[in-house]
Amino acid sequence: MTLPDIKDTDCLLIIDVQKDFCTGGSLAVPDAEAILPWINTNGEHFNNIVLTQDWHPAGHSSFASVHDKQAPFDTITMPYGDQMLWPDHCVQGTDGAHFHDELKTTAAQLVIRKGFRTDIDSYSAFYENDHVTTTGLSGYLKERGVQRVFCVGLALDYCVRFSALDARREGFETVVVEAGCRGINANGSNDDAREAMQSAGVQLL
Ligand code: VGL
Ligand code: ZN
Protein backbone atom coordinates (compact mmCIF):
# COMPACT_ATOMS: atom_id res chain seq x y z
CA MET A 1 0.00 0.00 0.00
CA THR A 2 1.56 3.29 -1.06
CA LEU A 3 0.69 6.41 0.85
CA PRO A 4 -0.01 9.70 -0.89
CA ASP A 5 2.65 12.37 -0.28
CA ILE A 6 2.59 13.25 3.39
CA LYS A 7 2.51 16.96 4.17
CA ASP A 8 3.19 19.01 7.30
CA THR A 9 -0.56 19.57 7.57
CA ASP A 10 -1.25 15.82 7.86
CA CYS A 11 -1.74 13.98 11.14
CA LEU A 12 -1.55 10.27 11.85
CA LEU A 13 -4.21 9.33 14.41
CA ILE A 14 -3.35 5.96 16.00
CA ILE A 15 -6.44 4.62 17.75
CA ASP A 16 -6.42 2.33 20.79
CA VAL A 17 -3.49 0.01 19.98
CA GLN A 18 -3.67 -1.35 23.51
CA LYS A 19 -2.97 -4.76 25.00
CA ASP A 20 -6.60 -5.54 25.81
CA PHE A 21 -7.47 -5.23 22.11
CA CYS A 22 -4.62 -7.53 21.05
CA THR A 23 -4.06 -11.29 21.31
CA GLY A 24 -4.49 -12.42 24.92
CA GLY A 25 -6.41 -9.26 25.86
CA SER A 26 -9.92 -9.18 27.28
CA LEU A 27 -11.46 -7.71 24.11
CA ALA A 28 -9.04 -9.09 21.55
CA VAL A 29 -9.54 -7.99 17.95
CA PRO A 30 -8.75 -10.81 15.49
CA ASP A 31 -5.29 -10.43 13.92
CA ALA A 32 -4.70 -7.13 15.73
CA GLU A 33 -0.88 -7.39 15.71
CA ALA A 34 -0.88 -7.43 11.90
CA ILE A 35 -1.30 -3.64 11.96
CA LEU A 36 1.95 -2.96 13.83
CA PRO A 37 4.38 -3.14 10.88
CA TRP A 38 2.35 -0.66 8.84
CA ILE A 39 1.97 1.79 11.70
CA ASN A 40 5.57 1.57 12.89
CA THR A 41 7.03 1.93 9.41
CA ASN A 42 4.75 4.61 8.01
CA GLY A 43 4.54 6.58 11.22
CA GLU A 44 8.02 7.86 10.44
CA HIS A 45 6.67 9.97 7.58
CA PHE A 46 4.35 12.04 9.78
CA ASN A 47 5.26 15.25 11.61
CA ASN A 48 2.07 15.08 13.61
CA ILE A 49 1.14 11.92 15.47
CA VAL A 50 -1.67 11.58 18.01
CA LEU A 51 -2.41 8.42 19.98
CA THR A 52 -5.70 7.56 21.62
CA GLN A 53 -6.05 5.33 24.64
CA ASP A 54 -9.32 3.78 25.79
CA TRP A 55 -9.21 4.57 29.52
CA HIS A 56 -12.13 3.36 31.61
CA PRO A 57 -12.61 3.51 35.37
CA ALA A 58 -13.36 0.11 36.98
CA GLY A 59 -17.11 -0.50 36.84
CA HIS A 60 -17.57 1.55 33.66
CA SER A 61 -21.16 1.57 32.36
CA SER A 62 -20.07 -0.03 29.05
CA PHE A 63 -18.99 -3.19 30.89
CA ALA A 64 -21.54 -6.03 30.78
CA SER A 65 -20.33 -7.06 34.24
CA VAL A 66 -22.00 -4.06 35.91
CA HIS A 67 -25.45 -4.77 34.45
CA ASP A 68 -27.77 -7.45 35.77
CA LYS A 69 -28.54 -10.21 33.30
CA GLN A 70 -26.49 -8.74 30.47
CA ALA A 71 -23.69 -10.39 28.56
CA PRO A 72 -20.88 -8.91 26.48
CA PHE A 73 -22.08 -7.86 23.01
CA ASP A 74 -25.66 -7.30 24.23
CA THR A 75 -27.05 -3.85 23.47
CA ILE A 76 -28.77 -1.68 26.08
CA THR A 77 -30.35 1.75 25.94
CA MET A 78 -28.44 4.52 27.69
CA PRO A 79 -29.68 8.13 28.07
CA TYR A 80 -27.56 9.01 25.00
CA GLY A 81 -28.74 6.09 22.84
CA ASP A 82 -27.93 2.46 22.17
CA GLN A 83 -24.81 1.10 23.83
CA MET A 84 -23.12 -2.22 23.07
CA LEU A 85 -21.83 -3.90 26.23
CA TRP A 86 -18.27 -5.19 26.42
CA PRO A 87 -16.11 -7.42 28.55
CA ASP A 88 -14.19 -5.35 31.11
CA HIS A 89 -11.30 -3.80 29.18
CA CYS A 90 -8.74 -0.98 29.28
CA VAL A 91 -9.27 -0.25 32.97
CA GLN A 92 -7.21 2.76 34.01
CA GLY A 93 -3.74 1.81 35.20
CA THR A 94 -4.01 -1.90 34.39
CA ASP A 95 -1.61 -3.75 32.12
CA GLY A 96 -4.34 -4.26 29.50
CA ALA A 97 -4.73 -0.50 29.13
CA HIS A 98 -1.07 -0.06 28.14
CA PHE A 99 -0.11 0.37 24.51
CA HIS A 100 1.09 -2.78 22.77
CA ASP A 101 4.77 -3.29 23.66
CA GLU A 102 5.83 -3.15 20.01
CA LEU A 103 3.96 0.03 19.11
CA LYS A 104 6.42 2.88 18.50
CA THR A 105 5.05 5.74 20.56
CA THR A 106 8.02 8.06 21.02
CA ALA A 107 7.25 10.37 18.09
CA ALA A 108 3.66 11.04 19.22
CA GLN A 109 2.98 14.56 20.53
CA LEU A 110 -0.35 13.90 22.22
CA VAL A 111 -2.20 11.06 23.89
CA ILE A 112 -5.96 11.52 24.06
CA ARG A 113 -7.55 9.38 26.75
CA LYS A 114 -11.25 8.65 26.34
CA GLY A 115 -14.05 6.78 28.05
CA PHE A 116 -12.98 8.01 31.49
CA ARG A 117 -16.45 9.12 32.59
CA THR A 118 -18.31 6.24 34.26
CA ASP A 119 -21.69 6.97 32.70
CA ILE A 120 -20.74 7.46 29.07
CA ASP A 121 -18.67 5.55 26.56
CA SER A 122 -16.44 7.19 23.97
CA TYR A 123 -15.58 5.40 20.75
CA SER A 124 -14.50 8.47 18.84
CA ALA A 125 -11.29 10.37 19.46
CA PHE A 126 -13.30 13.59 18.98
CA TYR A 127 -16.65 13.13 20.76
CA GLU A 128 -18.04 10.85 23.44
CA ASN A 129 -20.95 8.61 22.49
CA ASP A 130 -23.51 11.39 23.12
CA HIS A 131 -21.89 13.06 20.05
CA VAL A 132 -21.85 16.32 22.05
CA THR A 133 -19.14 16.06 24.72
CA THR A 134 -15.85 16.90 23.06
CA THR A 135 -12.39 15.52 23.83
CA GLY A 136 -10.74 18.73 22.60
CA LEU A 137 -8.94 16.96 19.76
CA SER A 138 -10.59 18.94 16.97
CA GLY A 139 -9.47 22.27 18.45
CA TYR A 140 -5.96 20.93 19.04
CA LEU A 141 -5.58 19.78 15.45
CA LYS A 142 -7.06 22.99 14.00
CA GLU A 143 -4.84 25.24 16.11
CA ARG A 144 -1.86 23.29 14.85
CA GLY A 145 -2.90 23.72 11.22
CA VAL A 146 -3.77 20.09 10.53
CA GLN A 147 -5.99 19.65 7.46
CA ARG A 148 -5.92 15.91 6.80
CA VAL A 149 -6.20 13.05 9.28
CA PHE A 150 -5.02 9.50 8.56
CA CYS A 151 -6.77 7.03 10.88
CA VAL A 152 -5.38 3.62 11.83
CA GLY A 153 -5.77 1.27 14.80
CA LEU A 154 -8.38 -0.78 16.63
CA ALA A 155 -11.12 -1.48 16.12
CA LEU A 156 -12.03 -0.64 12.51
CA ASP A 157 -15.76 -1.07 13.17
CA TYR A 158 -15.93 0.90 16.43
CA CYS A 159 -13.33 3.42 17.48
CA VAL A 160 -11.74 3.86 14.05
CA ARG A 161 -15.14 4.16 12.39
CA PHE A 162 -16.49 6.80 14.77
CA SER A 163 -13.23 8.72 14.89
CA ALA A 164 -13.11 8.91 11.09
CA LEU A 165 -16.75 10.00 10.84
CA ASP A 166 -16.16 12.75 13.40
CA ALA A 167 -12.93 13.86 11.74
CA ARG A 168 -14.89 14.30 8.52
CA ARG A 169 -17.72 16.06 10.34
CA GLU A 170 -15.16 18.45 11.83
CA GLY A 171 -14.03 19.35 8.33
CA PHE A 172 -10.79 17.39 8.07
CA GLU A 173 -9.94 15.49 4.94
CA THR A 174 -10.06 11.97 6.32
CA VAL A 175 -8.31 8.79 5.20
CA VAL A 176 -8.62 5.36 6.83
CA VAL A 177 -5.70 3.09 5.98
CA GLU A 178 -7.05 -0.45 6.18
CA ALA A 179 -3.59 -2.04 6.33
CA GLY A 180 -3.28 -0.31 9.68
CA CYS A 181 -6.68 -1.41 11.02
CA ARG A 182 -8.45 -4.57 12.15
CA GLY A 183 -12.08 -4.92 13.26
CA ILE A 184 -14.06 -6.90 15.81
CA ASN A 185 -16.49 -7.75 12.97
CA ALA A 186 -19.41 -9.05 15.04
CA ASN A 187 -22.35 -9.51 12.63
CA GLY A 188 -20.60 -8.10 9.57
CA SER A 189 -19.80 -4.82 11.28
CA ASN A 190 -16.60 -4.30 9.28
CA ASP A 191 -18.61 -3.92 6.07
CA ASP A 192 -21.17 -1.69 7.80
CA ALA A 193 -18.29 0.50 8.95
CA ARG A 194 -16.76 0.70 5.47
CA GLU A 195 -20.11 1.70 3.98
CA ALA A 196 -20.82 4.33 6.64
CA MET A 197 -17.37 5.85 6.26
CA GLN A 198 -17.45 5.90 2.48
CA SER A 199 -20.86 7.52 2.27
CA ALA A 200 -19.66 10.21 4.71
CA GLY A 201 -16.77 11.10 2.40
CA VAL A 202 -14.02 9.25 4.25
CA GLN A 203 -11.39 7.87 1.89
CA LEU A 204 -10.56 4.18 2.43
CA LEU A 205 -7.07 3.13 1.39
C1 VGL B 1 -13.36 -0.05 21.40
C2 VGL B 1 -15.17 -1.24 22.12
C3 VGL B 1 -15.07 -0.69 23.37
C4 VGL B 1 -12.43 0.28 20.29
C5 VGL B 1 -13.25 0.53 22.65
O6 VGL B 1 -11.29 0.74 20.56
O7 VGL B 1 -12.81 0.09 19.12
N8 VGL B 1 -14.33 -0.92 21.14
N9 VGL B 1 -14.11 0.19 23.64
ZN1 ZN C 1 -13.84 0.83 25.64
Could you tell me the domains of the chain?
Answer: 10-56+98-204 (3.40.50.850)
Whether 133 shows a pLDDT value over 90: the answer reads yes
The DSSP element (H or E) to which 199 belongs, if any, is: helix 189-199
Q: Which residue has a Cα nearest atom 1 of ligand 1? A: 159
pTM above 0.75, yes or no: yes
CA distances from 42 to 84, 146, 181, 204 (A): 32, 18, 13, 16
**pLDDT reported for residue 84:** 95
Q: Residue 6: is its pLDDT beyond 80?
A: yes
Contact 182, 31 (CB under 8 A): yes
C-alpha–C-alpha distance, residues 60 and 197, integer Å: 28
Compute the distance between CA of residue 122 and CA of residue 68 in angstroms, rounded to an integer. 22
Counting residues of the chain whose pLDDT is more than 90, the rounded percentage is 97
* Closest ligand (CA of 116): 2
How far away, in angstroms, is 61 Cα from ligand 2 center?
10
Active site residues: 16, 114, 159
pLDDT of residue 1 exceeding 70: no
Name the pLDDT band for 193 (thresholds 50, 70, 90): very high
How does residue 174 score in pLDDT terms, banded at 50, 70 and 90? very high
Q: Which ligand is nearest to the CA of 18?
A: 1
Q: How far does residue 159's CA lie from ligand 1's centre (Å)?
A: 5
As a whole number of angstroms, the distance between CA 65 and CA 128 comes to: 21
Residue pLDDT, tens place only, 151-173: 999 999 999 999 999 999 999 99
Task: Give the pLDDT confidence score for residue 73 in this predicted structure.
Answer: 94
In single-letter form, the type of residue at position 119 comes to D
On the CB side of 110, CA atoms within 13 Å amount to 19
What angle separates helix 161-169 from helix 189-199, to the nearest 10 degrees?
A: 10
Ligand 1 within 6 A of 166 CB? no
Candidates 153, 197, 145; CA nearest to 52 is 153
Q: Does ligand 1 lie within 6 Å of residue 22's CB atom?
A: no
- What is the C-alpha to C-alpha distance for residues 63 and 190, in angstroms, rounded to an integer? 22
Closest Cα to atom 8 of ligand 1: 158
Question: Of the residues 123, 126, 151, which should be mutated to test ligand 1's pocket, given the most ligand atoms within 8 Å of the CB?
Answer: 123
User: In a 10 Å sphere around its CB, with 0-12 CB exposed, 13-18 middle and 19+ buried, how is residue 48 labelled?
Assistant: buried
Average pLDDT, stretch 30-37?
A: 98
